[in-house]
Amino acid sequence: MKKYFSFFKMSFIRNLEYRSQSIFHILGIFFQSLLVYYLWNAISGSNKKLTGFMVLVTLLSDFMQSNAGTVLGNKIINGTVSEELIKPLRLDLRLISESIGNSFFRLFTAIIPTLLIFTVVGYLHSPTAFRFLLFCFSSLVGCFIIALISLFVGFLSFIFDNWWGAKVMLDTIISFCSGAMVPIQYMPSFLRNILFALPFNYSISVPSLIYTGSISLINVYKALFVQITWLLVLIVMFGLCWEKAQRRVNAYGG
């Protein structure tokens, strides 16, 4: 556990080192949230709850964005994955710790400041303390879910070299399925029913609903239950795929 925590710390520190990159990224998140705020304020006719929901979805999507898959994909393509597998640690856990480290860096430097500014200016209502705790818990679980899904996409590199295409695809699908383009409740019913069941909804949309208070507490508990179930299912599925993939690397000889 300790060694993986040091990877978490390392990616945090690396972000601090590349200061100019981080500053531009932080400003980017801020302006993107501003765009989403003004756009949805205009679309919804100043509906505070809907606008707040969209801002939160945007922020959470950024928080959860994971590079685990792209790193894995690159390692598979240039063959360094075999080196990594010899080391006395699990590559998958390492990638996830690094990805979560990056997420937490963005959380402290970009997402919390943006949330604070938006709350102070009055663009966002602050939730009750209890709801805020539930929101944090749900977001954290979501963060793991998205990192796992990203790793799944990294496996695609066994088939394609085009990790860039895979990344565009994943980012688009996540942002559509999580309601970052249009809230899921505004989609036609056939699509809504599918998307409501998928893990993207539970990782990004549900925490945002908890924050804005658009979901009753009973439904929150139900959603959290499903979310954790999804996490467990993904962990098991990932474990199975990881075994298979490792064998495939050995067959390739890296």
Partner 1 sequence: MHMGVKYYLRLYKDYVRIFLYKAKEYKGDFLFGILSIFVKQCLLFWSIYFIFMNFPSVKGWDKSDFYFLYAVSVIGYGICYTFFDGLWMVGQQYVQQGDFDRILIRPVSTLFQILAERINIDGITSIIIGVYVLIKSRLLVLNGNVAVNIIILVIICIMSGLLYSGMLLIFSSFSFIMLDSIYLMTLVNSFGDFGRYPIVIFPKFIQIILTFILPYGFASFYPALFFLKYSSRFYMLFFEELLVLILVWVLGLTLWKNGILHYKSSGA
10, 85, 117, 187: which one binds partner 1 (CB under 8 A): 187
Taking the C-alpha atoms of residue 113 and residue 116, their distance in angstroms, rounded to an integer, is 5
Closer to partner 1 at the Cβ: 186 or 240? 186
CB-based contact 174:249 (threshold 8 Å): no
194 sits near partner 1 (criterion: CB under 8 A):
no
- Position among 161, 228, 241, 254 found at the interface with partner 1 (CB under 8 A): 161
44 interacts with partner 1 by CB under 8 A: yes
Residue 12 and residue 101 in contact, taking contact as beta carbons nearer than 8 Å: yes
Q: Among 132-140, 141-149, 170-178, 214-222, which window interacts with partner 1 (CB under 8 A)?
A: 170-178
**What's 111's DSSP letter?**
I
Per rule CB under 8 A, is residue 43 in the interface with partner 1? yes
**Are the beta carbons of 231 and 207 closer than 8 angstroms?**
no
Longest dimension (CA), the chain: 59
Residue 165 interacting with partner 1 (CB under 8 A): yes
Q: Which of 92, 36, 66, 105 is nearest to 200 (CA)?
A: 66
Give the binding site for partner 1 (CB under 8 A): 20-21, 24-25, 27-28, 31-32, 34-35, 38-39, 42-45, 159-162, 164-166, 168-169, 172-173, 176, 181-182, 186-188
